[in-house]
Amino acid sequence: MATRYLVNFALEEVDRIEVGFLVIGSGIAGLYTAHAASAYWEDVLVLTKRGIDDTATEHAQGGIAAAVGPNDSPLYHYEDTLSAGAGLCDPTAVEILVTEGPARVEELMRLGARFDRADGRLDLTREGAHTRRRILHAMGDATGAEIQRVLSEAVRSSPKITVMENHFLVDLLVTSGVCWGVLALDWRELRLKAYLAPVVVLATGGAGQIYKHTTNPEVVTGDGIAAAYRAGAEVMDLEFVQFHPTVLLLEGLPRFLISEAVRGEGGILLNAQGERFMPRYHPMAELAPRDVVVRAILQELERTGSQVVYLSLEHLDPELVHARFPTISQRLKVYGLDLARDRIPVAPAAHYFMGGVKTGFYGETSLRGLYACGEVACPGVHGANRLASNSLLDGLVFGGRIVEYARRGVGEKPARWEARGEGLIPGPPVDYSRLKGELRDLMQTWVGPVRCAEGLSRALRQLARWDTLNRYEATTLEEMEFKDMLEVAYLVTEAAWMRTESRGGHYRADFPQPVPRWQRHLIFRRQV
């Protein structure tokens, strides 16, 4: 599917900037990694696609999970994570996450993160598939914004860290299995630039924008996964896409996430007939794992012939509801809805990629010098279905481990900086904005929460037709984004077609049960 590069270029003809430690992405994973690296490197550079705060982290509502409560322990957190992961979590990766997580959260607080408290203690809440209250939150439902604020301030105030905004990752620069830099587009100046470093960290997030309905911001187009795959890095578990059960669905309005914490505080789901249905599907009812709740919602939609189910908090104290979820309450108020009194129409939407660039326990990839953390990475910690609020913790823990590993001096510098992209031909005028919309529709229809062989085959045939566009040199940011989205869409669809079972976030209507022989990972690598 992939060509090696998106553009024709010669390294000697573009601006070249050398740094000691290079991070791509400015969400929690990227900024924390840069902050941690500044303790050991004098020249840390962060490239980010748009502004420093244009990230999925900024939009995170629910919170960050960590075993810091008096009735909790890393062992309970470990067991809950493995249970949610449907047999595909790497136990060692999960152990690392839950045992190192509390210290990383404490570090955030030392940096100035203001998590909500009650009676002097952290006000912990509970979310789906957690057996304990272990979710730290800030300003009710603005946890991501608070974490983004703290890390952005820490990075901006450091004399050792430089942030370059409006820089789009085009491709990785690799020689003989060693990554030594990236080719980036400064899309404000419309100039290609090469950033060279012995340590390159991908923290570019997932690829939710390949779906029509998603909670992800516009910047999340799978660029890191696609670039890594083109360069020959291994990618893993891309069939496992998590759809969030409760996303506001109002005709003509953008999708808006209704945090899982709303159900954690007592919110219930009702079908079109006003019946509570989750207790019929799982003993944990609304707090079942996300994949279970999504499939239950879809079955109720099919059974009732409706487009939405409803989230209801009518039985709770209105004052407490609005105080606990001020961001959600205010957004719904703009749309003429009262979170505490109205039934909120919701439906599932693409939310998180469990799969990504395959990494080890220190963020190391199959290419030496290249590391990955956060949603772009797949260390096996989330398995087939991520436990709610483990994502922010993941970025902190494995971002810090990258620094721990890289400071041992394992970075390599090639004898010569040399790279060239060639052979791409000028393309005809193409409306890439329209193609993006068509790709999203295709993925939503055939590679969404419920899949089958016929639909997946149909999607693969259409993706293959679009593949002819990869012969053409990309000349605009939108064209580059589309080709990254196309690459990731193809990988997701192919993996979903190959996995003839249902497990976690991957559900095949034609193979509705998990199969023991499929308790394994699908790893793709492009020959370069």
Task: Based on the fold, state whether residues 232 and 92 are members of the same structural domain.
Answer: yes
Please check whether residue 61 is in contact with residue 259, taking contact to mean a CB–CB distance below 8 angstroms: yes
User: Alpha helix (H) ranges present in 351-504?
Assistant: 390-406, 432-446, 453-466, 477-498
Structure tokens at 389: 């609020």
Domain count of the chain? 3
From first to last of the 528 residues of the chain, give the pLDDT tens digit.
568 999 999 999 999 999 999 999 999 999 999 999 999 999 999 999 999 998 999 888 889 999 999 999 999 999 999 999 999 999 999 999 999 999 999 999 999 999 999 999 999 999 888 999 999 999 988 999 999 999 999 999 999 999 999 999 999 999 999 999 999 999 989 999 999 999 999 999 999 999 999 999 999 999 999 999 999 999 999 999 999 999 999 988 888 899 988 998 999 999 999 999 999 999 999 999 888 999 999 999 999 999 999 999 999 999 999 999 999 999 999 999 999 999 999 999 999 999 999 999 999 999 999 999 999 999 999 999 999 999 999 999 999 999 999 998 766 666 667 788 889 999 999 999 999 999 999 999 999 999 999 999 999 999 999 999 999 999 999 999 999 999 999 999 999 999 999 999 999 999 999 999 999 999 999 998
Assigned domain for 151 exists: yes
Task: Based on the fold, state whether residues 62 and 131 are members of the same structural domain.
Answer: yes
User: Which structural domain, as residue segments, surrounds residue 34?
Assistant: 9-240+354-406
Task: Based on the fold, state whether residues 325 and 358 are members of the same structural domain.
Answer: no
Task: Based on the fold, state whether residues 288 and 338 are members of the same structural domain.
Answer: yes
Say what the pLDDT of residue 145 is.
94
Would you give the DSSP letter of residue 132? Answer: S
Measure Cα distances from 309 to 23, 171, 305, 396, 434 in Å: 41, 42, 11, 35, 30
Assigned domain for 208 exists: yes
Distance of CA 426 to the CA centre of its chain: 33
Parallel, antiparallel or unpaired: strands 356-358 and 377-378: parallel
414-446 burial string, b = 16+ CB within 10 Å, else e?
A: beebebebeebeeeeeeebeebbeebbebbbeb
Task: Based on the fold, state whether residues 186 and 46 are members of the same structural domain.
Answer: yes
Distance of CA 49 to the CA centre of its chain: 15
Task: Based on the fold, state whether residues 331 and 187 are members of the same structural domain.
Answer: no
Task: Based on the fold, state whether residues 130 and 231 are members of the same structural domain.
Answer: yes
Gap between the Cα atoms of 92 and 284, Å rounded:
27
Assigned domain for 115 exists: yes
Say what the pLDDT of residue 252 is.
85
Say what the pLDDT of residue 61 is.
83
The CATH number linked to 314 is: 3.90.700.10
Assigned domain for 3 exists: no
The CATH number linked to 165 is: 3.50.50.60
Task: Based on the fold, state whether residues 450 and 374 are members of the same structural domain.
Answer: no
How many CB atoms are located within 10 Å of the residue 302 CB? Answer: 10
Order of all β-strands in the sheet with 256-257: 256-257, 241-248, 344-353, 309-312, 268-270
* pLDDT one-digit tens code per residue, 499-516: 999 999 999 999 999 999
Gap between the Cα atoms of 429 and 259, Å rounded:
41
Assigned domain for 334 exists: yes
Task: Based on the fold, state whether residues 368 and 344 are members of the same structural domain.
Answer: no
Say what the pLDDT of residue 414 is.
65
Gap between the Cα atoms of 431 and 412, Å rounded:
41
Task: Based on the fold, state whether residues 400 and 484 are members of the same structural domain.
Answer: no
Q: Residue 226 is inside which H or E element, if any?
A: helix 223-230
Assigned domain for 469 exists: yes
The CATH number linked to 475 is: 1.20.58.100
Structure tokens at 428: 């005809």
User: Alpha helix (H) ranges present in 249-317?
Assistant: 260-264, 290-304
Question: Residue 311 forms beta bridges with which residues?
Answer: 269, 344
Task: Based on the fold, state whether residues 74 and 196 are members of the same structural domain.
Answer: yes
Parallel, antiparallel or unpaired: strands 21-24 and 200-202: parallel
Measure Cα distances from 320 to 265, 340, 344 in Å: 10, 9, 17
- Phi/psi region, residue 409 (left: phi>0; alpha: psi -120 to 50; beta: rest), is left
Task: Based on the fold, state whether residues 236 and 251 are members of the same structural domain.
Answer: no
- Catalytic residue IDs: 290
The helix-helix angle for 223-230 and 477-498 (nearest 10°) equals 80
Considering only CA atoms, which of 200, 209, 167, 218 is closest in space to residue 487? 209
